[in-house]
Structure 1
Amino acid sequence: MVNLLGRATDSVTALLSPVITAGQLNAAAAIRTHRRGYGGWTGAVNTDYDPLNPSTAAHPHAAYDALHRGGRVHYNPKRATWILHRLDDVRAALRDTDRVTSSQGVTRVRMVADLVVVTDDDQHSRLRKQVQPAFTKGALDGWRSIIDGLAAEMIDGMIAANGDDAVQRVTVPLPLRAIAAILGVPDSDIADFRRWSDDSTQLINFTPTPRGVVNTARSLRAAAALRRYFLRHLEDGHLKGSNTVLGRLLAYSTSGALTDNQLFYIAILLLIAGNETTTNLLGGMLHTYARHPDQYDMIRSNPELIPQAIEEHLRYTSPIQNLYRYTRADYQVGEVTIPTGSRVLMSFGAANRDPLAFDDPNTFRADRNPRSHLGFGYGPHLCLGAPLARMEAQAVLRELVDRVSRISLTGPATWSTNSSLRGPTHLPLVFHEKAIS
């Protein structure tokens, strides 16, 4: 079995090399860590909580409650993973990049690459500075009309359908088409773009098993197709001078410091940070209002609450449930020392429901002000695309409040089993149009 995994992970590394030429996916190291995991426990509360379990990933909140009833630090020997779940502890670890680093990856697989999401210190600051011009207020204001138009179009479609899957009609196409427009992808390429995007974002869910390696190989092929697509468009020059993310970055990079490969990495980052996460945010929001019409009525009667309500959705549904870090020095949490070289799960979903931080945390309150939530991470790696995701969610909620009197479930929702990115995968809803007075 181990030999099979070793050969398979070598194949994954070979497939990844043309996509992340500056990095290395060290899946073999992850498997070695797994093998020695049973001897790694030192002082934490042993747990069988497993975010990779599909049932737990789809419905994690009972597991989070159990973590909160236990100690500050848990350890899963099966996964050789330390778990931080309290809000203050996760925030502290995200700040302490000297000892708890992203530079070895943010998934279960150690990865080294010249990407803003998997770097720290001066390298991270340099890469973040390169990307920042794409997310200025001017850039966001320039895309607002696109997003408002898409929100109106999607709500039109759901009202006209008189009952349909909101995932297919709203939560997937809106962020995808917004990102496509912002990246300069024409409508004629949307179908391919969606398929490649859906497959490539599954890289975050790698597991060191034969099935996991096969799934990751498919993700890498999709990422390679995306890379060929963007490099072709960058080479033909039509993105230069455009009001797209890549066009704006090219305009700011007068020294030529940004290579086509680096621009492609930025595009991939946008897909993961601004596509799937926003889909999950929108799906969780619609599901919540269908189940809690009193909260929807509160927003309808007081639309000024919309920005605050979106923050509560980010806390309550946590589109990104967790990411990983690796310790490059012993790291103390209370009475527990997490050893150097350990894999640490940062449970954003559990932290966002920490009863020590939020009163009645398993209840959605549209008028709550959850300022300390971790919906977009925290610290140096606070999500660059957060303003864009907020803009999309607020546009949809404004459109709903203006035009829809009630949101009703017509059947059970199903939820993704991705261990890190959680949202509805099927959400049958009816949008009841407001009567015109």
Structure 2
Amino acid sequence: MFSPLIAAGRLNVSAAIRTHRRGYSGWTGAVNTDYDPLDPAVAAQPHAAYDALHRSGRVHYNPRRATWILHRLDDVRAALRDTDRVTSSHGVTRVRMVADLVVVTDGEQHSRLRKQVQPAFTKGALDSWRNIIDKLAAGLVDDMIAAGNCDAVQRLTMPMPLRVIAAILGVPESDIADFRRWSDDSTQLINFTPTVSGVVSTARSMRAAVALRRYFLKHLADGHLKGSDTVLGRLLQHSTDGALTDNQLFYIAILLLIAGNETTTNLLGGMLHTYAEEPDQYDMIRDKPDLIPQAIEEHVRYTSPIQNLYRYTRADYRVGDVTIPSGSRVLMSFGAANRDPLAFDDPNTFRADRNPRSHVGFGYGPHLCLGAPLARMEAQAVLRELVDRVTRIEMTGPTTWSTNSSLRGPIHLPVVLHAKSAT
């Protein structure tokens, strides 16, 4: 798996240079922009840039990055549906890659891989993990209340999804530290930049992915994951034709890490930050806890844990009056689409009772995130614990936001949870 990825990455560097050179005259019909999601300051605080995109044209082009940008909700949704012309099969990052993963395939191959993974996300499978999730949420909120002034990222938003995924994959407690380090490093591949530091970071990500692969293949070979109640054990039980190899099971484990680790951390962190900043909205949920599922959808829209992913055109693709040429890199700006003023009233305002059903926070179309029900379950469990036991979430210092261009959330979130008085 990995040497082809590295080779694909190397091939893409020269392709990117060629595209960059022809890019200045390649944007005819679109609005030229210097909006750059790879700028760390923009990545940390992107919303002013999104407002600027929405105030100008329908399709933008950044000649420096040789990247087309779609930011309107309807256009992003349409492109995500049109996998014949706007494909994931060349990768969803700035690095072109080919792999037997559901997230970077389309058509029949995508359908086959999605069918293999689907048993891991049935209602029965999710219900079987509910007890694990509820206990973790209760324990981590306990820990934060007892700690007083603390960093919510270290105490809750990071350990919650990591421990859930570790539990459903069958990773023992003794391996959690290594698992966390490898997971964090491997997901940084999504943030590749064509710089020396970017190449170094990508190399570190690849080493972490190799370590994860070695870890899972060893445990699969040992046999204790097979026949277990873990997600991999469940998938093997449903694979009656023997089609799932150890290598494919590893790909599924990686998919869970990509889909459910840092993204859920970002969702939880954004939720805590929002309620600290908007206590009236938190009080609304406390008064009407039945709004919790709806409020989580609004958090997904408002915070957009995945800000953007890439696609590549394999045919000319028309958006309004603009034709994006075949072979182009296209940035699907989920964060901007989720704040599209043509789709959402007062989009930069969080409303816990809004019903933002058309958001693309979990993707859309054939690539709708498989892990979305798991993320929702975790976020709802944490919010239930908070509204049951905490009267106010208070910021005790400034929030530090990640500078990853695609995955945005707090990386330092100092808060105090004010618990209800004992009666």
Q: TM-score scaled by structure 1? A: 0.95
Q: Which residue number in structure 2 is paired with residue 145 of structure 1? A: 131
1:326 aligns with 2:330: no
Distance 2:22 2:217 in 1: 41
Once the two structures are superposed, what CA deviation does each residue of 1:37-71 show, in whole Å capped at 9, x if it has no partner? 22321210000000000000000000000000001
SS at match of 1:344: strand
Distance 1:358 1:252, change over 3 A: same
Question: When the two structures are aligned, how many residues end up with a matched partner?
Answer: 421
Q: 1:180 aligns with which of 157, 160, 166?
A: 166
Distance 1:38 1:71 in 2: 18
Q: 2:121 aligns with which of 135, 141, 151?
A: 135
Q: Which residue number in structure 2 is paired with residue 9 of structure 1? A: none
The Cα shift of 1:255 comes to 1.8
| Preserved CA contact (<8 Å) 2:98 2:104 | yes
User: Percent identity over the alignment?
Assistant: 84
Runs of at least 5 residues in structure 1 that lack an aligned partner in the other structure: 1-14
Which structure 1 residue ranges, 4+ long, deviate > 3 Å from structure 2? Answer: 23-26
1:425 aligns with 2:415: no
Distance 2:313 2:145 in 1: 50
1:252 aligns with 2:238: yes
- Pairwise CA RMSD of aligned residues? 1.2
Matched residue type, 2:113: L
| Preserved CA contact (<8 Å) 1:105 1:325 | yes
Q: Which residue number in structure 1 is paired with residue 282 of structure 2? A: 296
The Cα shift of 1:33 comes to 2.3
1:169 aligns with 2:155: yes
SS at match of 1:246: helix
Q: Which residue number in structure 1 is paired with residue 214 of structure 2? A: 228
SS at match of 2:203: helix
Runs of at least 5 residues in structure 2 that lack an aligned partner in the other structure: none
Q: Which residue number in structure 2 is paired with residue 203 of structure 1? A: 189
Distance 1:406 1:293 in 2: 7
The Cα shift of 1:230 comes to 0.2
Matched residue type, 1:184: G
1:241 aligns with 2:221: no
1:277-316 correspondence to structure 2 within 5 Å: 277-316=263-302
| Preserved CA contact (<8 Å) 2:8 2:95 | no
SS at match of 1:34: helix
Matched residue type, 1:239: L
| Preserved CA contact (<8 Å) 1:42 1:338 | no
The Cα shift of 1:110 comes to 1.1
The Cα shift of 1:36 comes to 2.8
Distance 1:100 1:27 in 2: 18
Matched residue type, 2:209: A
Distance 2:332 2:226 in 1: 39
Q: Which residue number in structure 2 is paired with residue 5 of structure 1? A: none
1:387 aligns with 2:367: no
Q: Which residue number in structure 2 is paired with residue 27 of structure 1? A: 12
Q: Which residue number in structure 2 is paired with residue 412 of structure 1? A: 398
Distance 2:229 2:323 in 1: 49
Q: 2:31 aligns with which of 35, 45, 56?
A: 45
Distance 1:256 1:209 in 2: 43
Once the two structures are superposed, what CA deviation does each residue of 1:314-352 show, in whole Å capped at 9, x if it has no partner? 000000000000011111101000000000000000000
SS at match of 1:17: helix
Distance 1:424 1:134, change over 3 A: same
| Preserved CA contact (<8 Å) 1:197 1:271 | yes
Q: 2:331 aligns with which of 329, 345, 356?
A: 345
Distance 2:24 2:235 in 1: 47
Distance 1:301 1:100 in 2: 45
Once the two structures are superposed, what CA deviation does each residue of 1:283-340 show, in whole Å capped at 9, x if it has no partner? 0000000000000000000000000000000000000000000011111101000000
Distance 1:45 1:398 in 2: 45
Distance 2:124 2:28 in 1: 50
| Preserved CA contact (<8 Å) 2:16 2:66 | no
Q: Which residue number in structure 2 is paired with residue 76 of structure 1? A: 62
The Cα shift of 1:398 comes to 0.2
Distance 1:225 1:33 in 2: 34
The Cα shift of 1:113 comes to 1.5
SS at match of 2:226: coil
Distance 2:256 2:21 in 1: 34
Matched residue type, 2:17: I
SS at match of 2:24: helix
Once the two structures are superposed, what CA deviation does each residue of 1:264-299 show, in whole Å capped at 9, x if it has no partner? 111111101100000000000000000000000000
Q: Which residue number in structure 1 is paired with residue 250 of structure 2? A: 264
The Cα shift of 1:34 comes to 2.8
Between 1:311-320 and 1:210-219, the stretch displaced more is 210-219
Distance 2:330 2:199 in 1: 22
1:112-123 correspondence to structure 2 within 5 Å: 112-123=98-109
Q: TM-score scaled by structure 2? A: 0.98
The Cα shift of 1:207 comes to 1.1
SS at match of 2:260: helix
Distance 1:203 1:95 in 2: 25
| Preserved CA contact (<8 Å) 2:304 2:334 | yes
Once the two structures are superposed, what CA deviation does each residue of 1:3-31 show, in whole Å capped at 9, x if it has no partner? xxxxxxxxxxxx9318x69x943433233
Matched residue type, 2:310: Y
The Cα shift of 1:406 comes to 0.3
The Cα shift of 1:132 comes to 0.3
Distance 1:199 1:193 in 2: 10
